[in-house]
Amino acid sequence: MNTKADKIRAASIDPTYYQAVTEAIRTQAVKLLTEETVVAVVGYFPGRRQGTAIPALVTTPEQAEKLIFSPACVNNLTLFLTKAKKGVLKKGRVAIIAKGCDMRALAGLMGESQVKREDIFSIGIACAGVFGSGADRSGNLSEGNIAKKCRECSVHLPEGADLLVGTLPELSELTALEALEMARIEALPQAERWAFWKEHFTRCIRCMACRQVCPFCYCEQCLCDKNRPQAVESSPRPAGNMAWHIVRAMHLAGRCGGCAECERVCPMDIPLNLLNRRMAQELKELYDYEATTTPQEKGPLARYQENDDESFIK
């Protein structure tokens, strides 16, 4: 066996790891539903197309037998716990399958009192990563098709779950492409940075998929949908689009957990996660605050404290 072949083999994740996680999820979900510990389990079913998975809201042990975990399990399921998806789940305790990035959203929602800790049974996943948007899903997960966010993941083994399933396989060190891109843009002069984002936002068609898929965009009336008074133009034109994305990035600053769902679902491939990660970096530098997988106090832009720095008020 030559070492190059070994390296290539090590770089792709063996499907037996996913099979083991799938078995563990099924066993646990069936148990929770049979014992009536929870009224529903939010997990993933396989999709019709190769390499796809879809969110599943299962309420019976029979359905729970069909849950899976695979590199196609890209969705952040915590979305279905928010008031934006009111009425879709029965009232009662709910179990949820959550990767590390999803756990940050779950923790954030708890910190903002949107979800009660006692209403959730979290099944955390020791996650090797998921497929990237537009990637070739015909084979195993490998460097060639892994999502950008997974390359620099620090929560492969998330803390704070009620139960953690899966044994992480050996993971290869991957270049943090997103961090590199962020540094590249940071180094550009301001006019070029503006041009970069303007070019992207000109393609925005205001489908609102970014907002609808975000667990933190749970407002029952989005500011940008109001027209009395109107804060942001609703028509898809460059100026209104810039405003929309800047407002959303500001509203997410300090809250966004970096699940990158917004970027994944954008039909125009706008690099939204880049913007949100940059805001997260800013919040870390200015306020030493970042989203975590365990609930904490709300972010600095969402709360007021007596000892907040006021030196900038002249």
Partner 1 sequence: MRNATYEAPTPKRLSLALRERGVFKQLTNYLAPPCTQSNGPRRIATQETSMPLSITETNLRNLIDLLVQESKLVVGPKLSGAIVLYQPLTSGAELTLDSLPRRSAKELYFPVCEDILTFKKENGKVKVEDIDRSRFPETVLIGAPPCDAGSPAILDAVFSWDYHDDFYQERRKKSTIIGIACTKGDDACFCTAVGLAPDAQAGSDLFLTPLADGCYACVAVTEKGQTLVQAHPALFSEAPAGEAIPFLDQSTGKLDLAKIKAWLEGHFEDPLWESIADICIGCGACAFICPACHCFDINDEGSPDNGSRRKHWDACGFSKFTNHASGHNPRDIQNKRYRNRIMHKFKYYDDKFGKTLCTGCGRCIRACPVGIDIAEILTTINEKAD
- Which of 6/136 has CB closer to partner 1? 136
Query: Least separation, in Å, of the C-beta of 67 and partner 1?
Result: 14
Question: Which residues within the stretch 55-94 sit at the binding site for partner 1 (CB under 8 A)?
Answer: 55-57, 75, 79-80, 85, 87-88
- Strands ordered across the beta sheet of 40-46: 53-58, 40-46, 94-98, 120-125, 163-165
CB 221, min distance to partner 1, A: 9
Among 246, 262, 264, CA closest to 214: 262
- As to burial, measured by CB atoms within 10 angstroms (0-12 exposed, 13-18 middle, 19+ buried), residue 110 is buried
Of 4, 91, 228, 314, which one interacts with partner 1 (CB under 8 A)?
228
**Alpha carbons 143 and 149: distance in angstroms, whole number:** 12
Q: Could you tell me the smallest distance in angstroms from the CB atom of residue 233 to partner 1?
A: 5
Q: Please identify, using beta-carbon distances, which residue of 237 and 278 lies nearer to partner 1.
A: 237
Among 237, 290, 295, 301, binds partner 1 (CB under 8 A): 237
Shortest separation between residue 60's beta carbon and partner 1, angstroms: 12
Indicate the residue among 7 and 90 with the shorter CB distance to partner 1: 90
Choosing from 92, 163, 227, 297, the residue that interacts with partner 1 (CB under 8 A) is 227
Q: Compute the least distance from the CB of residue 107 to partner 1, in Å.
A: 21
For the four alpha carbons of 245, 246, 252 and 258, in that order, the dihedral sign comes to: positive
Which positions lie near partner 1, rule CB under 8 A? 47-50, 52-57, 75, 79-80, 85, 87-88, 199-200, 203, 205-209, 211-213, 225, 227-230, 233-237, 261, 264-265, 267-269
